[in-house]
């Protein structure tokens, strides 16, 4: 039986209160420069850290409504590179009518905290805050300097958050070699009842593309062989129906091998239906993490039923595997055809960090101390995080928000989902694992 440190026990005692407080601050980010709740959340975080005497700074990014917080915990060995723990304070919108509970009430039901941000990513924000507060009270000092960073605008690409910091406040990340944040460290239950923890060490690149076509405007009652809507619709159909083959980057190959070994099967990544039968809900992550993706998401054209417009446009959400951007864009251009153009609305890099490093060894040791017999595997995140921006300053990014989850919880569906929720026991586990991990660093 493992022994919980006094600081981990102290953090467990307040982490859920902090999580609920954060959820109740509506930090909805709808893609505009509104974000009124992000400043309130930053004020709350600043108060949490200042109360225990930590060196803390609250700062504005692109406006007074977009704010972040940075705090530093000095280590015992200043010769070591600094470690960054970062979390975003914003959340995606929630339509209250679709939810079983008010999305910003932070209700506790069936042993879980419900609310927008419970999973993405105020649970990890709360874990970092509670451990930092407990360490400050207990006088615990890490070996490496720790930089704690809480920022706005991750859910809309980071121009008001992480990218702004890299461009305007690179001093915040001075001396940092590695960063730890969201979308990793959660468990999946194997057929033999052991748990497999997925640690995110790679991210797909982002290519949100605006497609445009021009044609001959005219009356809808006459023959028109130069219709912009026809051109854009044909291109969108080709892109949406394109079957992207599997593409295994080094991380993806290791992920497939280790997940297959853990489940005792030879994963078939080229047949997603078979893959779902082999590994259940995890197939959504594995399927998306082993190929490029291009999904049409928006269409715009016309203003009257009997008028053929002279222009039409569409949006496509493209995600490309590490090392495959050139081929991905070449294939997209071929699918567009000669009369449709594209430009980037949002474009960001794919990432791939080394899995065989002391940082991951410490994550594995912390998880196995709290959950003996458990396994660890890397994976490629199909979405994106603030690690993309920080990579511009040479920071290697990892997803490690440790959660030991119930076998029957379809956790991956809760990211940006209706009735987002996280088990209290899982968050308590995360606090203990995070405490252990940081002591090993």
Residue-wise pLDDT for 272-311, tens only, equals: 888 888 888 778 878 888 999 999 999 999 999 999 999 9
Range of the domain at 432: 6-183+385-440
Q: Would you state the pLDDT for residue 296?
A: 97
Whether residue 380 is contained in a domain is answered as no
Mark whether 171 and 218 lie in a shared domain.
no
Q: Whose CA is closest to 72, among 127, 152, 145?
A: 145
Mark whether 429 and 285 lie in a shared domain.
no
Per the CB < 8 A criterion, the answer to whether 344 and 209 are in contact is yes
Mark whether 105 and 227 lie in a shared domain.
no
Phi and psi (nearest 5°) for 278? -75, -40
Q: Which two tokens stand for residue 95?
A: 């339509």
Mark whether 255 and 173 lie in a shared domain.
no
Choose the final residue of a domain: 348, 373, 397.
348
Q: Would you state the pLDDT for residue 34?
A: 65
C-alpha gyration radius of the chain:
23
Mark whether 38 and 85 lie in a shared domain.
yes
Q: Would you state the pLDDT for residue 287?
A: 87
Task: Point out which residues pair with 71 in neighbouring strands.
Answer: 56, 148
Mark whether 209 and 155 lie in a shared domain.
no
Per the CB < 8 A criterion, the answer to whether 27 and 35 are in contact is yes
Q: Assign 280 to helix, strand or coil.
A: coil
Q: Whose CA is closest to 409, among 393, 425, 387?
A: 425
User: Which residues of the chain fall short of a pLDDT of 70?
Assistant: 1-2, 33-36
Q: Which two tokens stand for residue 314?
A: 């569409």
Query: For residues 217 and 96, what is the distance between their CA atoms, to the nearest angstrom?
Result: 41
Choose the final residue of a domain: 294, 321, 348.
348
Q: Which two tokens stand for residue 440?
A: 């090993």
Domain harbouring 43, CATH code: 3.40.630.10
Directed axis angle between helix 228-241 and helix 325-336, to 10°?
140
Query: For residues 361 and 184, what is the distance between their CA atoms, to the nearest angstrom?
Result: 15
- Burial annotation 251-286 (CB, 10 A radius, 16+ → b, else e): bbebbbebbbebbeeebebeebeebeebbeebbbbb
Mark whether 65 and 162 lie in a shared domain.
yes
Mark whether 208 and 344 lie in a shared domain.
yes
Domain harbouring 211, CATH code: 3.30.70.360
Choose the final residue of a domain: 348, 373, 405.
348
Could you say which DSSP state residue 412 is in? G
* The total number of structural domains that make up the chain: 2
The structure's pTM equals 0.92
> Cis omega before residue 121 (within 30°)?
yes
């Amino acid at each position: 039986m493992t022994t919980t440190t006094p600081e981990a026990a102290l953090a467990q005692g307040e982490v859920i209160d902090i999580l609920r407080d954060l959820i109740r601050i509506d930090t909805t980010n709808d893609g505009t420069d509104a974000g009124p709740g992000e400043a309130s959340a930053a004020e709350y975080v600043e108060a949490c850290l200042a109360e225990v005497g930590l060196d803390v700074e609250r700062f504005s990014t692109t406006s007074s409504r977009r704010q972040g917080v940075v705090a530093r915990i000095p280590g015992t060995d200043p010769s070591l590179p600094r470690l960054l723990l970062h979390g975003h304070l914003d959340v995606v919108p929630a339509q209250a009518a679709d939810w079983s509970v008010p999305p910003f009430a932070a209700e506790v039901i069936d042993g879980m905290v419900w609310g927008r941000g419970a999973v993405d990513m105020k649970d990890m924000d709360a874990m970092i805050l509670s451990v930092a507060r407990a360490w400050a009270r207990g006088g615990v000092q890490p070996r490496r300097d720790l930089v704690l960073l809480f920022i706005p605008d991750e859910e809309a690409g980071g121009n008001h958050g992480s990218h702004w910091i890299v461009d305007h406040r690179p001093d915040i990340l001075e001396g940092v070699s590695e960063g730890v944040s969201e979308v990793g460290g959660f468990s999946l239950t194997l057929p033999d009842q052991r748990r497999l923890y997925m640690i995110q060490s790679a991210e797909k690149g982002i290519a949100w593309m605006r497609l445009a076509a021009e044609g001959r405007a005219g009356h809808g009652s006459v023959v028109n062989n130069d219709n912009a809507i026809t051109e854009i619709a044909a291109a969108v159909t080709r892109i949406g129906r394109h079957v992207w083959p599997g593409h295994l980057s080094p991380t993806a190959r290791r992920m497939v091998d280790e997940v297959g070994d853990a489940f005792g099967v030879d994963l078939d990544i080229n047949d997603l239906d078979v893959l779902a039968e082999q590994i259940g809900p995890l197939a959504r992550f594995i399927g998306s993490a082993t190929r490029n993706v291009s999904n049409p998401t928006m269409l715009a054209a016309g203003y009257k039923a009997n008028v053929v417009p002279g222009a039409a446009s569409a949006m496509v959400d493209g995600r490309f595997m590490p090392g495959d951007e050139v081929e991905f864009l070449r294939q997209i251009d071929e699918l567009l055809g000669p009369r449709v153009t594209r430009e980037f609305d949002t474009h960001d890099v794919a990432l791939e960090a080394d899995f065989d490093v002391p940082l991951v060894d410490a994550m594995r040791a912390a998880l196995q101390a709290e959950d003996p017999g458990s396994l660890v595997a890397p994976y490629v995140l199909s979405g994106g995080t603030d690690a993309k921006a920080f990579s511009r300053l040479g920071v290697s990014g990892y997803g490690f928000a440790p959660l030991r989850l119930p076998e029957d919880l379809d956790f991956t569906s809760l990211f940006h989902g209706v009735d987002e929720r996280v088990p209290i026991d899982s968050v308590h586990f995360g606090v203990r694992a995070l405490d252990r991990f940081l002591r090993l660093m």
